Structure 1
Amino acid sequence: MTDRPTPATLAALTGRHLDLVRAPFTLPSSRLIVFREGDGVRVHTSEYERRLAECRVLDSLTVRDASSRPIAITAVLPDRVVFGDGAATLVFAGPAALSLGASAPGFSAQWTTPDGETRTAPLAPAVRFDVAEDRSVRAEASLTHEADAGAARALWREWFAACPVVRDDLQEMTAFCWWVLGANIVSLPRLRAQLGDVRAVVPSKIGYVGLWQWDAYFIATGLRHGAPDLAREQLDLAFGFPSPNGQLPDVVHEEGVLATSDDLPQADRDRLRRAGSQIADPHAPVPLTKPPLAAWALRKVLEALPRTPDNHAWARRHLETIRGSQDWWFACSDLDGDGMPEYGHPYSSGLDDSPIFDGPLPTTAPDLGAYLVLQDLELARFAEEYGDADPDMHRERAQRTLAKLLELWVPTPPPDATGASPGASGRVGPASAGVFRARAAGEPVASDAIVGLMPLLTGSLPSDITEALVAALDDPARYGTPWGLPTVAAGDPDFSPERMWRGPVWVNTNLLVAEGLEASGRPDLARELAERTVALVIHGGGPHEYFNPLTGEKAETATTAFGWSAALFVDLAVRLSA
């Protein structure tokens, strides 16, 4: 590593990735997002469960010269969009306004509103566009363009001043990922009464404007390296709305929470129905949550916080909530009463489209068992540190859960005449050295999915099972694809390199498997997987939602500038640079 880069240097490195297509122009805490449109831009708001097409502010905004010809965009930096090599700049004027100003007379702004009206005004020296909550725009001449530009520049430089310093080969992408985290900050004023003035770092301002529980854990893990207070706020939101029985909601958003199937937006119900999901129209509300990694996330954030009485009290307060959530899984989500909780809805897994949910519900999944073991072991450690609970209770439950988890292990099946091994349902699949198989309503699921690697996180598997899972990582018919771990084994009939959770590589699953390798005594392989993961993000051009495992490029339908991919890149880069 060289000397610490200046905030201006980091902003310039980030600018190489701000194309206004994959990465929009925005401001921390703003709901405005700006994309390229021809020689100019278009402006949208960012709203929960609303498509960009529903959130139009300006369909076009261009700079015109004295002959009314459009001036092209020549550069984009975090704090400004530059037209004509500096002839004009577009900047934020606070979170709800934009300012377009020219450096010399003779230029004008031309914009078109969603109702088709086109207007023109001289940039003498600037036009300010104030956007109301109903997306209406008031445009008027402004004399504060330079001051607005300075304020936006100062805000971003303050953000980049906290960017972690990492290895030289990782610094540029770390700067961009740090920008993604700042760009994805939104305020949730309607929740002030319950939690105060907290900020959510959302998965994306493009379509994911809320705080999903699982995303919050991963995003906090990256934020802790430069913005630990903001990392704390993500957990405050995730833990702030438990139900009376302890369940944590799937999503916290500006209009409330999403905690049962009754809370699902209509678009989600329609999507489930199109996929033929048996849970699209349940007879009774189904709880919606996310996998139990709460204690894991709390531990990560605490590692970055000073040991102060305030942080100690903060952790103790959240531990009570986490214990309630862990108890909920066993009391309310052990749907067949066998001692091993199940997923009652695909959304509660975080892996919505995984083929393990193609069969009937509930689904007994090896990843859920692994997370529950990990969480009880973390809660036992916390109980020993804080003396506020019985650690033995957590360890004993972890051991019982581990025993149930091992019942999902299927050793190597005998090969057929072709050398392939039949799946648990008789379907022919790739030969393997054993697999953890999910169960759909008690029946084995044939799909060889990445959930079967998560038991490594327990650090307590029999050595022969650990070695079998390690062997699967290099097997080209299973997880040995060129660009990381596919979410379904490459030789499985359900494998698709482009379809969400059915083959693409996700940064979070790579990270969890790497941590599982570390816990299982294979730090060499853990570091190798971490290096491959950061190389994937750099090769793919940014922290996308998911990647094609064969090409390493962004999968066609993946969201760009994705929060947890950015956060976990930062986390991995810091760890690899230590």
Structure 2
Amino acid sequence: MDRLTLKHAAEALLRANDRNGCTVPAPALYPHQWNWDSAFCAIGWAYLDPRRAARELEMLLRGQWENGMIPHILFNPEATHYEPNPKVWQIDQAPGRPQAIATSSITQPPVLATAARFVLERSGGDRTVEEILRRVVPAADAWHAWFLRERDPLQQGLPAIVHPWESGLDNAPRWDAALKRIDPGEVTYKRKDNAVVSSEQRPTRFDYDRYFFLVAERAKLSFAPPTPSSVSFLVQDVAMASILCRAEEDLHALARALGIEVPHALERRAKLAAGIASLYDAERAYYHDYDLVGGAPIEVEHASGFLPLFAGVVPLDVVPRLLAHLRDPNQFGTAWPVPSAPVDDPHFDPRRYWRGPSWVNVNWMIIEGLRRASWRDDAARLTDRTIELVSRSGFREYFEPNTGEGLGAENFSWTAALVLDLLAKS
């Protein structure tokens, strides 16, 4: 479809997936409110209705825990076709849980403040938008503080994830070794995802056994802050740190524009930037995660390693070395970039979720990072290729990086939302 038709189709999809102020990612597969999905959707909504965009972000605050965490799922009680359901998370006795809504017990990458800044800038001084975002600022500040208070046990400026779902990049090959250490025993659960999307495109039974084990472990440990000796999975995730680092910058700018004080945002950002720098492997010219339980870096390349660009913390002399990976056809330079895992990874699978397919949200963050680093030609090429991919294959959840075939859920909200931004800036 041509670009104008694509724009109108994206707008229609967002409206169709609206559920009373929040956008479900894909009605058939994901019927609840997901954290970073909503933030990405707000970026698209800002082109249609800035007030509706601000409301999307405010809806996330319903699920905030007293300790500041904003969980990765806020459950819709009318939607029952998703597993794990609220009972599986066992948060009824969790200290500080929200009373008015059921949620998961883990978080997701904090895109909230970045999206809020974008919405404000698109709003043209709308008073209603500003009033809503004044409520978002302290909530985002509390969430950001939570990451370095309760998820940085070594105080290195590197928030750690306790579950692959927290990364948003669930079954990425970078988690394989850490998950293989876990013996989940007999785990009983239901899966409904494979009834909607072909099993060849979804995480495996091996993955899901451990996903449900880790959900139960959080409850067993009374949702306490993790340490390397107390949990089975604890990884310093370069993507999480990068997205949070960018969010601190955006939170500071948002608060200043609204006349609100967030005195520690830039201090936290500096600490995160130093932490991210420590994850850089100069020999391989790549940013790697660190396994706190195993006590070693995870020397597995993944698209997440480009996200320090999104944070704006990559030294100028390192950017060309990162771009060499991005351009290499044997790594990330596929016909329809950016594959979530490099082609030369022995576990690369071009059709299975985060083990190879290309995702529009990752492309969007890399494009933003390339623009920040003043590599505008590369950003423009990736922008055009991403728009063409969606024009050819529709608003799918992810895409086969060699053929461009649409995979995963259909009518996927953040694909539509972020295409609206890419169209506006191309």
TM-score with structure 2 setting the length? 0.78
Aligned residue number for residue 202 of structure 2: none
Pair 1:443-2:288 in alignment: no
Say if 1:439 and 1:445, in contact at 8 Å, map to a contact too: yes
Task: Give how far 1:338 is off.
Answer: 3.2
Q: Please say if 1:329 is aligned against 2:180.
A: no
Name the CA distance, whole Å, in 1 between partners of 2:3 and 2:154. Answer: 47
> Shift of the alpha carbon at 1:377?
1.2
Cα 1:249–1:527, aligned 2, differ >3 Å: closer, same or farther?
same
Q: Does 1:364 align with 2:236?
A: yes
Residue 246 (structure 1) aligned with residue 68 (structure 2): yes
Distance 1:411 1:304, change over 3 A: same
For 1:403, give the aligned amino acid.
Answer: A
- How far off is 1:349 after superposition? 1.1
Q: Which amino acid aligns with 1:182?
A: R
C-alpha contact (below 8 Å) 2:55/2:132 kept by paired residues: no
Structure 1 pair 182–286 and aligned structure 2 pair: CA distance change class (3 A):
closer
Superposed displacement of residue 493, structure 1: 1.4
State the distance in 1 between where 2:106 and 2:268 align: 23
Match of 1:531 in 2: 384
Q: Counterpart of 2:307?
A: 454
Aligned amino acid, residue 271 of structure 2: R
* Between 299-308 and 542-551, the greater mean CA deviation after superposition: 299-308
- Cα 1:265–1:516 change in 2 (3 A) is farther
Aligned partners of 1:384, 1:185: CA distance in 2, in Å? 31
Tell me how far 1:324 sits from its aligned partner. 0.5
One-letter code of the match for 2:256? Answer: E
Take 2:311 and 2:22, find their aligned partners in 1: how far apart are those partners? 30
Query: How far apart, CA to CA, are the structure 1 residues paired with 2:236 and 2:289?
Result: 5
Which position in structure 2 is the counterpart of 1:309? 127
For residue 358 of structure 2, what is the aligned residue in structure 1? Answer: 505
Q: For each residue in 1:117-160, what CA deviation from the matched residue of structure 2 results, as whole angstroms up to 9, or x when unmatched?
A: xxxxxxxxxxxxxxxxxxxxxxxxxxxxxxxxxxxxxxxxxxxx
Which structure shows the higher strand fraction?
1
Map of 1:402 onto structure 2: 273
**2:247 corresponds to 1:375:** yes
Give the corresponding residue for 1:561.
411
For 1:400 and 1:199, how far apart are their aligned partners in 2?
A: 35
Amino acid at match of 1:326: H
> AA paired with 2:5?
E
Alignment partner, residue 181 of structure 2: none
Residue pair 1:213, 1:249 contacting (<8 A) in 2 also: yes
1:240 is paired with a residue whose SS is: helix
Aligned to 1:178: 11
Task: Give percent identity, aligned residues only.
Answer: 30
1:523 Cα deviation after fit: 2.0
User: What is the CA-CA distance between 1:316 and the residue it aligns to?
Assistant: 1.4
Aligned to 1:496: 349
1:481 to 334, 344, 352: 334
Contact 1:472/1:478, CA 8 A, preserved across alignment: yes
Q: What secondary structure sits across from 1:498 in the alignment?
A: coil
Is 2:398 the partner of 1:546? yes
Q: Deviations over 1:402-429 (max 9, x none)?
A: 111111111235xxxxxxxxxxxxxxxx
Give the number of aligned pairs.
Answer: 355
User: Do the aligned residues in 1 keep the contact of 2:238 with 2:279 (CA within 8 Å)?
Assistant: yes
Greater Cα radius of gyration, structure 1 or 2: 1
1:226 aligns with 2:48: yes
CA distance, structure 1, for counterparts of residue 21 and residue 260 of structure 2: 30
The residue identity in structure 1 corresponding to 2:405 is E
**Alpha carbons of 1:312 and 1:228: their partners in 2 closer, same or farther (altered >3 Å)?**
closer
Compute the displacement of 1:264 (Å): 5.3
CA–CA distance in structure 2, aligned partners of residues 262 and 486 of structure 1: 28
Q: 1:200, CA displacement in angstroms?
A: 2.3
Shift of 1:390: 4.7
SS of equivalent to 2:391: helix
8 Å CA contact 1:483, 1:505 repeated in 2? yes
Match of 1:294 in 2: 112
Aligned positions of 1:3-402 closer than 5 A: 169-186=2-19, 198-255=20-77, 287-360=105-178, 361-391=233-263, 393-402=264-273
Gaps of 5+ in 1: 1-12, 14-168, 187-197, 270-284, 414-433
8 A contact 1:174–1:570 mirrored in 2? yes
* Residues 267-299 of structure 1 deviation map (CA, whole Å, 9 limit, x = unaligned): x99xxxxxxxxxxxxxxx994111011110101
Which of structure 1's runs of 4+ aligned residues deviate more than 6 A?
A: none
Q: How far apart in 1 are the matches of 2:61 and 2:334?
A: 37
Alpha-carbon contact 1:450-1:487 (below 8 Å) kept:
yes
Once the two structures are superposed, what CA deviation does each residue of 1:196-232 show, in whole Å capped at 9, x if it has no partner? xx43221111121111011101111111111222222
- Structure 1 residue identity aligned to 2:240: L
- Report the 3-state secondary structure (helix = DSSP H, G, I; strand = E; otherwise coil) of the residue aligned with 1:463: coil
Aligned CA distance change for structure 1 residues 435 and 570 (closer, same or farther; 3 Å) = same
Secondary structure of the structure 2 residue equivalent to 1:352: coil
Letter paired with 1:253? F
TM-score for the superposition, normalised by structure 1: 0.58
Partners in 2 of 1:286 and 1:493 — Cα distance? 33
* Structure 1 CA distance for aligned equivalents of residues 84 and 418 of structure 2: 32
Partner residue, 2:319: 466
SS at match of 1:509: helix
Q: 1:567 to 1:561 in 2, by over 3 A?
A: same
Per-residue Cα deviation, 1:418-441 (whole angstroms, up to 9, x for no partner): xxxxxxxxxxxxxxxx11111222
Cα contact 2:251–2:265 (8 A) shared by 1: yes
Matching residue's letter, 1:439: Y
Tell me how far apart the structure 2 counterparts of residues 546 and 286 of structure 1 sit (CA, whole Å). Answer: 24
Residue 76 of structure 1 is matched in structure 2 by none
- The C-alpha deviation readout for 1:468-502, integer Å capped at 9, x for no partner, is 11121111121100001000111111211011011
Counterpart of 1:20 in structure 2 is none
Residue 412 in structure 1 maps to residue 283 in structure 2 = yes
CA contact (8 A) 2:164 2:175 kept: yes
| Partner Cα distance (1:390, 1:183) in 2 | 36
Deviation per CA, 1:1-32, whole angstroms, max 9, x where unpaired? Answer: xxxxxxxxxxxx8xxxxxxxxxxxxxxxxxxx
**TM-fit CA distance, 1:572:** 1.1
Decide whether the 8 Å contact of 2:117 with 2:251 is kept in 1: no
Shift of 1:369: 1.5
Cα separation, 2, equivalents of 1:265 and 1:216: 23
Supply the distance in 2 between the matched residues of 1:239 and 1:390 (Cα, whole angstroms). Answer: 18
Change (3 A) 1:465 1:252: same
Residue number in structure 2 paired with 1:74: none
C-alpha distance in structure 1 between counterparts of 2:86 and 2:171, whole Å: 16
Superposed CA deviations along residues 348-388 of structure 1, whole A, max 9, x for unmatched, are 11111112222332111111111121111112223433342
CA distance in 2, matches of 1:553, 1:473: 20
Higher relative CO (Cα under 8 Å, sequence separation at least 6) belongs to 2
Quote how far apart the aligned CAs of 1:304 are.
2.0
Taking structure 1 as reference, are residues 312 and 176 closer, same or farther at Cα in structure 2, changes over 3 Å only? closer
